[in-house]
Amino acid sequence: VLTFQTDIISAQSSNFQGGAPQVTEGPDDARYIRILFPAGVRSSWHSHTWGQLLMIEEGIGLHQIRGRAIEEFQPGEPFWTPSGVEHWHGAHPDVDALQLTIYEGTVNWLEPTTDEQYAGVRYRPMSRSSN
């Protein structure tokens, strides 16, 4: 059973650089949340006990698994992060991102994503491009 958060929330909290979402927790473990990340806003490093599915609805999103390059994704493109994998996600430096996130279980919040990490090597995977 999913808990549906239908309102768009703005990223405005200590677990996000530049802001953090206010999420109403439901009685079930599964979450379905839409978050608006203003340009340049990203989450802290974190992992999920049951993994996380992300999809950008509008704008350009960024996602990084620890130790890998930053991946860019655009509307309609899903990104799956397996259970226990440390990662961060957010908006492109110049473009807002409206993100759909679906996860179950708990979030293990870690340290903030630094400006240096956020400015790291970025690429758009060929499998995601239309060319």
pLDDT tens digits for 7-45?
A: 544 444 566 665 554 444 444 667 888 888 889 999 999
Alpha-helical runs (H) found in the chain: 115-118
- Assigned CATH topology for domain 2-128: Jelly Rolls (2.60.120)
- Domain residue spans of the chain: 2-128
How does 8-40 read in b/e, with b if 16+ C-beta sit within 10 Å? ebebeeebbbbbbbeeeeeeeeebebbbbbbeb
Query: Looking at the whole model, is its pTM more than 0.85?
Result: no
Pairing outcome for strands 87-91 and 52-59: unpaired
Per-residue pLDDT averaged across 111-130, rounded?
83
pLDDT tens digits for 64-91?
A: 999 999 999 999 999 999 999 999 999 9
